[in-house]
Structure 1
Amino acid sequence: MKTKTAILTNFFILIFLFNLHGAFAQNIDVKNKAKNATTNKVDKKVDETIDKGLDKIEKGIGGLFKKKEKSNKEERNEENRKSQKQDVEEQEYSFTAYNKFDFIPGEKILAFDDFKQDNPGDLPAKWNSTGTAEIAKISGSEFNWVQFSGGEAYFSPQYISKMPDNFTVDFDMIINYSKVEYAYYQLKFGIEIISSATAKAQNENANVSANTGITFNITPFPYKEIYAVSYIKGETQLETKAQFEGLSSPKPIHVSLMRQQQRIKIYFNNKKVYDLPQGLPIAQNYYLRFSTLIDEWNDKQNMAKMYISNLRYAAGKPDMRNKLLTDGKLVTRGILFDPGSAVIKPESAGVLKEIAGILNDNKTLRVKIVGHTDSDGDNAKNQLLSEQRAMAIKSILVEQYGVNEDYMTAEGKGETQPVDVNTSAAGKANNRRVEFIKI
């Protein structure tokens, strides 16, 4: 028996040696194979890092950049099967970053623009421009963007005029200046609230209107600076500077601006950049305007551009506590989701924190959370989506803000109870809402 075993063992050893000899006889370069294996391993690691980074961007603004296509179908399926636990963990990380964010949008949406109704390459239908503004598409984005360029120029949405004493404006912004090479070139972008949408700058260096208002001049290169100038009929009343490190990156920034009488607050992502109690002088009317100040060389070389999308303009100062406790029903459009999903955007943190404070101060208060959608898409899918969104809100209130789960229920109504038309972007935005009903 031992002899037979030994014979079999020797036989397999001979086969192995024969195959090894054949491999070398075919001139297989073992050194290069090892090198390639190492390279492939590094490439795979880089791919994973890029994918993770793009995932975070997608969470922030609903999928701005398209991820690289996987070469293997099974890997794509595996990505699609990410667990709910992982999604919640990423969401919690985002909300942690926004723990001091207190922006609450106005009660009534007056205008909403994601530029889906405009054709790429055209000037947005409801905008005026003294420079080059056109609709641009970004791969993987659910919406279109308006691209600003053209040296010294001004861009005004005509549906935002005669702004009330209490209003909010928020939008997604990308500033692309990655090819700019020289620090001494002029490069500014502006967010302005002014008394005349057609006013020209008196001084291109100051970029200040001849009328009354406030301008937030953004200088991404090289200072990463936001320079606020408040002025009355062109005369400067206040100047102040702040920095935002995120300007050094081409990643999208969510900008939130709030007016309460003369008080102006502006946030970039989760950071309150300015809170100016007397920042906006008294004037009869105010308009929103964007501006660019790009030197001739960089403009000709197509080196610097500003992109805007998901612009939401709302009026009113929300009194959420009184609405829920006294009226018995609180309606909010400030809890935002990634398109077609139940993933809550982190800029919803201000609203959620306010609602959680009301519920935690009134621990026996029972509420029903009701989700609503617009009419885009399939009815059954909208019903399911509204239910999932209501449940996601309940989960966040429990897990992030310590609200008692036993005193909340969640349900969805889909598109069945519109409060506005579904034929305009603003109407659809008003229909995408969440109700907290006292029970």
Structure 2
Amino acid sequence: MKGKLLALPVLLIAQLVLAQESVGERVVNRTKETTIRKTEDKIDQKVDNTLDKIFDGSIFKKKKEKSEEGGASGTKKSPGKQSSGGGASDGDDTDFSTYRDFDFVPGEKTLFFEDFANTSLGSGPAQWTVTGAKGEPAITTIAGSADRWLRTPTEGLSFPNAFNDFPDNFTIEFDMYADPETMSEMMSGLKVVIVQKMTDRAAYDQWFSADPQLILDIHPSGGGGSLNLGAKMEYDGNLSQEEMTLHDSTYRDGWLNGEVNRVSIARKGKAIALYVNETQYIDLPNGLPKPGPYGLVFANNMWGDGTYITNIRVGGGGAVTAKAVNKEIAAEKKFISRTIYFDVNSARIKPESWATLNEIANAIGEMPGNFHIVGHTDSDGAEEANLALSIRRAASVKNALVNEFGLDASRFTSDGKGETEPVESNATAAGKAQNRRVEFIQQ
């Protein structure tokens, strides 16, 4: 233990040196940094309890334990069974291990989707309203990512013109990137505002609005992965800032510096839960007590380079549960999933898809018969390439059900249809999201 404590100043000095790297260099080296971080985390688990007592209240605060209850988005967890079989696929290298306690399940129906793929680089976001005098909002790229990103203003609002009506139960997911070393702990990060539906959201005041609302602040800062998370209720002049604050905590290793982070939010009735990557950090049983209707606003008040967001999806219609899958297969002889996510132009399943796959595996494992898995893509790219991609993606899903969840490989066949059977127009990002799907057909 003494050796561990003596090593802390050395580690802090090393972090200061690493802080001098450029954003691009940190992204290029993110794989190496992740490996080092995971190794250090295994060691830290043995000494966290002692460190918490020594550094109580500092940035060396133990990471919040993952919820076993699930809050607003609970689901039965598979034990992560392992078995052989299922054949090979270029998507079989997904490491689901850190997501096996992930209980966020996206809403089944895609109510809104935006990846800015149809917006020219360097321009403002089409079909969005962006306000604020500080920082030039633009569609851009970041090193190490194939996606297009909205760089938000450092002070102002951003919201999609096409979406402003949350149902009673919904989920929000998006990818987020930020350079924490340019951000101040005294300012905000990216604020996700669930606000009473307004005629003109551009008039929303992120400091003093008294409209029924909940503000969720995702605020990385510093070079060591520190993540500040806050939740605040609507402004009330009769209450102090402390009384309006529903959650305010700092986690020493909650943010992956130099990497894309995944933010997930679930609302079920009055309850609100927030996840960053695989961990649930905020669980508010009464986070949104007043009835809607509600709309969506992103807000910033920060120093630094701004925050970057993309792959924004709002889901509704209830979460994809084993019960829902069973019901749909019983009625239609098939189930369609749009919440199994893949890397761009790849058959590699994103690890955050684990909870959806878990529910599907739980359902199919209890049902008779065999299943034919069929992949579908949108129309981006060449038709022949999309056909091959859809075949590989279906094979990846089959292999995940067999290798990760222990289902019998002999029960599954797989194929792909590419872009040939769209269910929506490919002219919009939301339409493309609807067309990217995996079907499970009972034989």
Report the TM-score when normalising by structure 1: 0.72
**1:140 Cα deviation from its structure 2 partner:** 4.9
Aligned to 1:50: 29
C-alpha separation in 2, matches of 1:388 and 1:89? 10
After TM superposition, give the deviation of residue 199 of structure 1 in Å: 4.9
Secondary structure of the structure 2 residue equivalent to 1:308: strand
Query: Residue 71 of structure 1 corresponds to which residue in structure 2?
Result: none
RMSD of aligned alpha carbons: 2.9
Report Cα offsets for 1:370-410 as digits up to 9, x if no partner.
11111222222211111111111010111111111111111
CA distance in 2, matches of 1:415, 1:345: 21
Contact conserved, 2:190 with 2:299, CA < 8 A, in 1? yes
Aligned AA for 1:255?
Answer: V
2:216 partner letter? F
- State the secondary structure of the residue aligned to 2:441: strand
1:126 is matched with 127
Equivalent in 236, 246, 249 of residue 239 of structure 1 = 246
Is 1:338–2:343 an aligned residue pair? yes
Question: 1:232 touches 1:281 (CA, 8 Å); kept in 2?
Answer: no
What letter corresponds to residue 347 of structure 1 in structure 2? E
Equivalent residue in structure 2 for 1:164, among 161, 164, 167: 167
Partner of 1:309: 310
CA deviation vs aligned residue, 1:165-215 (integer Å, no higher than 9, x gap): 1222211001223245xx664343311111143454474xxxx63211211
The corresponding residue for 1:396 is: 400
Q: In the alignment, which residue of structure 2 is the partner of 1:154?
A: 157
Q: Work out whether 1:213 is the aligned partner of 2:210.
A: no
Matches for 1:180-199 after TM superposition, within 5 Å:
180=183, 185-195=186-196, 196=198, 197-199=201-203
What is aligned with 1:7?
none
1:81-137 CA distance string (max 9 Å, x none): xxx98966741xx21111011222222223221112222332212221222422122
Provide the rounded CA distance (Å) in 2 between the counterparts of 1:398 and 1:273. 31
After superposition, the Cα gap between the structure-2 partners of 1:51 and 1:201, relative to the gap in structure 1 and judged at 3 Å, is: closer
Q: Give the equivalent residue in structure 1 for 2:409.
A: 405
8 Å contact from structure 1 (residues 331, 435) kept in 2: yes
State how far apart, in whole Å, the 2-side matches of 1:396 and 1:289 are: 36
CA distance in 2, matches of 1:86, 1:355: 20
Give the SS at the match of 1:100.
coil
User: 1:187/1:250 Cα in 2 relative to 1: closer, same or farther (>3 Å)?
Assistant: farther
CA distance 1:99–1:167, change in 2 (3 Å): same
Contact kept, 8 Å, 1:242 with 1:273, in 2: the verdict is no
Q: 1:356 to 1:337 in 2, by over 3 A?
A: same
Amino acid at match of 2:349: I
Distance 2:206 2:373 in 1: 52
1:190/1:217 contact within 8 Å kept: yes
Change (3 A) 1:403 1:209: farther
1:314-325 equivalences in 2 (<5 Å): 314-317=315-318, 318=320, 319-325=324-330
CA distance in 1, matches of 2:294, 2:214: 10
User: Offset of 1:429 from its aligned partner?
Assistant: 0.8
Question: Aligned partner of 1:371: which letter?
Answer: G
Q: Does 2:271 align with 1:263? A: yes
Contact preservation (8 Å) 1:147, 1:306: yes
Indicate the percent of aligned positions where both proteins have the same amino acid.
34
Structure 2 matches for 1:345-384, cutoff 5 A? 345-362=350-367, 364-384=368-388
Q: 1:221 touches 1:248 (CA, 8 Å); kept in 2?
A: no
- Structure 1 residue 263, shift from structure 2 partner: 2.1
Shift in CA distance, 174/321, structure 1 to aligned 2, threshold 3 Å: same
Which residue does 1:174 correspond to in 2? 177
Is structure 2 residue 232 aligned with structure 1 residue 253? no
Check 1:423–1:202 CA distance in 2 against 1; reply closer, same or farther (3 A cut).
closer
Q: Distance in 2 between matches of 1:187 and 1:237?
A: 16
Partner of 1:69: none
Alignment length (residue pairs)? 349
Equivalents in 1 of 2:421, 2:204: separation in Å? 45
| Compared CA separation, residues 308 and 51, structure 1 to 2 (3 A) | closer
Query: Could you tell me whether the CA contact under 8 Å between 2:394 and 2:415 is conserved in 1?
Result: yes
Q: Which residue of 2 aligns with 1:327?
A: 332
For the Cα contact (< 8 Å) 1:231–1:281, is it kept in 2? Answer: no
Greater shift, 402-411 or 132-141, is seen at: 132-141
Q: Is the 8 A contact 1:175 1:307 kept in 2?
A: yes
Cα distance in structure 1, aligned partners of 2:411 and 2:393? 18
Q: 1:264 to 1:187 in 2, by over 3 A?
A: closer
Taking structure 2 as the reference length, the TM-score comes to: 0.72
Q: Which moved more, 1:243-252 or 1:329-338?
A: 243-252
The one of 425, 437, 441 equivalent to 1:437 is 441
Describe the shift of the 1:52–1:312 C-alpha distance in structure 2 as closer, same or farther (beyond 3 A).
Answer: same
SS of the residue corresponding to residue 337 of structure 1 reads coil
Looking at structure 2, the residues matched to 163 and 185 of structure 1 have their Cα atoms a distance apart, in angstroms, of: 31
* Partner residue, 1:424: 428
Structure 1 window deviating more from structure 2 (194-203 vs 406-415): it is 194-203
Q: 1: CA distance between counterparts of 2:431 and 2:144?
A: 25
Change (3 A) 1:210 1:123: farther
Contact 1:199/1:211 (<8 A) preserved:
no
Q: Aligned equivalents of 2:30 and 2:214: distance in 1?
A: 40
**Gapped runs of 5+ residues in structure 2?**
1-24, 36-86
Quick one: structure 1 residues 233 and 321, their matched pair in 2 at CA, closer, same or farther if it must change by over 3 Å?
farther
- Asked if 2 retains the 8 angstrom alpha-carbon contact of 1:371 and 1:434, the reply is yes
Closer, same or farther: CA 160–291 of 1 in aligned 2, 3 Å: same
Q: Secondary structure at the match of 2:393?
A: helix
Deviation digits for residues 19-54 of structure 1 (CA, Å, limit 9, x no counterpart)? xxxxxxxxxxxxxxxxxxxxxxxxxxx99x938449
